[in-house]
Amino acid sequence: MDLIKNDFIEFIKQRKSVRSFIYQKIDKETILNILEGARWAPSGNNSQPWRVCICIHPTVKRMVAELSKYGGIIEDAYVNLVIFLDLERGYDRVKDLQGIGAFMENILLGVHAKEDIGGVWIGEILNRKEEVNEIFKLPTDKFELMGIIAIGHIDDAREKVRSKERERRSIDEFTEWY
Ligand SMILES: Cc1cc2nc3c(=O)[nH]c(=O)nc-3n(C[C@H](O)[C@H](O)[C@H](O)COP(=O)(O)O)c2cc1C
């Protein structure tokens, strides 16, 4: 059991944001499998307040990419999962956001579990969230953009080593024992 648990910590530690992709198809089954893991995320009251636009079409990708300074990543990714909070399903602002965070982390871990595939959470796009709603024809009073997870086959040659960004605070620094 402990061995499995240690493997799990290693698995979490090895996940990292991937921002360089080669163009190669990711099949529908793989995308569905990632979402299968995501939908088991916890949420307050089990409200499951997520809505996902699975964005693969180059024209749609470009429209989204134009709204972000990370547009290059969005365009290069084979698929972008555009995640909205379904405000009618939600019931408590803080808890809804926490549930969405759990959902999105499950996606990142699901992506990491696939060979040669990586992903990154793009939050910067929130600066233009209303325009993202327009692209997907979702009313802003019902759906609120939470972020995008860009997913693609990892381009090892272009992917930079970002050791500074991957540093983590020590446990001591953020804990107190009582
Ligand atoms: C809420 C949130 C927003 C983020 N927004 C962006 C973003 O807009 N662009 C980007 O390149 N990375 C973004 N990231 C990825 C972080 O930069 C990255 O997770 C962090 O630096 C730690 O690196 P790691 O994921 O490789 O461990 C975001 C991550 C989170 C959780």
Tens-binned pLDDT, residue by residue, of the chain (178 aa):
566 767 999 999 999 999 999 999 999 999 999 999 999 999 999 999 999 999 999 999 999 999 999 999 999 999 999 999 999 999 999 999 999 999 999 999 999 999 999 999 999 999 999 999 999 999 999 999 999 999 999 999 999 877 777 899 999 999 999 9
Residue 84 lies in a domain: yes
Residue 7 lies in a domain: no
| Total domains, the chain | 1
Residue 11 lies in a domain: no
Task: Give pLDDT, residue 162.
Answer: 75
Tokens representing residue 135 in the block: 């692209």
Residues 99, 48: contact at Cβ < 8 Å? Answer: yes
The model's pTM? 0.96
Centroid of ligand 1 to alpha carbon of 1 (angstroms): 31
Centroid of ligand 1 to alpha carbon of 166 (angstroms): 10
Residue 115 lies in a domain: yes
Task: Give pLDDT, residue 89.
Answer: 98
Residue 175 lies in a domain: no
- Give the CATH number of the domain where residue 128 resides: 3.40.109.10
Residue 167 lies in a domain: no
Tokens representing residue 71 in the block: 């547009």
Task: Give pLDDT, residue 154.
Answer: 97
Domain hosting 125: range is: 17-157
Residue 168 lies in a domain: no
Task: Give pLDDT, residue 169.
Answer: 97
Q: How far is residue 15's CA from residue 120's CA, in Å, rounded to a whole number? A: 10
- Of ligand 1's atoms, which has the minimum distance to the CA of residue 16? 26
Centroid of ligand 1 to alpha carbon of 123 (angstroms): 7
Nearest CA owner, ligand 1 atom 14: 121
Task: Give pLDDT, residue 3.
Answer: 61
Residue 4 lies in a domain: no
Task: Give pLDDT, residue 6.
Answer: 78
Centroid of ligand 1 to alpha carbon of 16 (angstroms): 9
Task: Give pLDDT, residue 163.
Answer: 74
